[in-house]
Every structure is written in C-alpha cells, then in structure tokens.
Amino acid sequence: APTRAQTRLRRGSERPGTLICLLLSPIRTKRPTMSFCDRCGSLYKVEEASGAAAAIAVDGLVARCTGCNRCENVRAAFDKGVMESFSTSDTFLFKYGIEPMNPDGSKFGAVKDVTRERAVVDEKCPKCSHKGLNFYTMQLRSVDEGQTVFYECPKCGHTFSQNN
C-alpha cells in the first residue's frame, strides 16, 4: 500500500477558473493524509490512539478531526474513495501548499491560460506605428524617484520602457 496520499489535478470545466482536486487516500498510514470530516468539513489528522479512542483504533491509530476534535476509525475516515473539492489556484496553494499544475505538467495560470487586461494609452508604437499601446508601471528605482512605465504594442509585441 502507498504511504502517502496521491493527488491528481485537472481543470474544472463545471466552474471556469477552478481546479478539481482528486484525493486518493491510502487506508493505512502513519503520516497525515487528506481526508475530510463529514460533520464539519475539516481535515482529519492520523495520531496514536489513547484513552477512549483506543476502542475504535486500527493498529493503534485513529483519525482525529482538526476542527471539531471528533475521533473516527482510520478505515472509516480514509476509505471514502475519490473526493472532489473545488478551489481557485490561489486558495489551493494557500490551503494545501501544493503548486497547482495542468495535466500536461505546466503551471496552472501560465501565460497561455491568462489574458492580461492592461490600461491603454493613445500613443503610436515606434516599431509598427500602431496607435494604442498597453501600459503598466513598476517601482524599480528608489522610493523617492518616479515609477518606470512599460509600454507594449498589442499588434507587434514590441516592448519598451520610460522612466518618469
């Protein structure tokens, strides 16, 4: 049996901008794995059984809920098959500490998935003379100096900067 939870990610087609996390948990482990309490929805933590919890222990281990402190048999807590949870990529990274990935191995939210919406200024591109440049600013120099303005032509992709 595997000793840690196996996690697969796929893009959520039901809700745009979400991930579906499929958590496949093993039955026997001494490491904490991801399984959720039916009562409050918090994560279970695997720990050594003590006191009254020893009556429901499997191999001396019980699953204790981190939210409501409920103890459950390890097999009952982790033998739930495949569970799905929906989350944005930022929330997923914060909750689980795992960088979300696309099925092809690229990072979720990579350039091909994200459309940048930037402000537009009514200037001409010095390369192709297209009118209407996208721009954004960044503070690259010290705080008492102005920001650097970056311009990008949506037609030819030419990028240049100007210090203010």
- Give the model's pLDDT for residue 133: 92
Fold of 119-163: N-terminal domain of TfIIb (2.20.25)
- Give the model's pLDDT for residue 136: 87
How far apart are alpha carbons 18 and 100 in whole angstroms?
10
- Give the model's pLDDT for residue 126: 92
Alpha-carbon torsion (15, 87, 64, 39), positive or negative: negative
pLDDT in tens, 95-131: 666 666 666 766 665 555 455 678 899 999 999 999 9
How far apart are alpha carbons 146 and 164 in whole angstroms?
5
Regions of the chain with pLDDT less than 70: 1-34, 79-103, 105-116
* Residues ≥6 apart with Cβ < 8 Å to 33: 4, 5, 25, 26, 46, 78
Q: Domain segments of the chain: what residues? A: 6-96, 119-163
Confidence (pTM): 0.32
- Give the model's pLDDT for residue 122: 92
79 phi/psi in degrees, rounded to 5: -95, 55
- Give the model's pLDDT for residue 53: 81
- Give the model's pLDDT for residue 31: 40
- CB of 124 closer than 8 Å to CB of 152: no
- Give the model's pLDDT for residue 88: 64
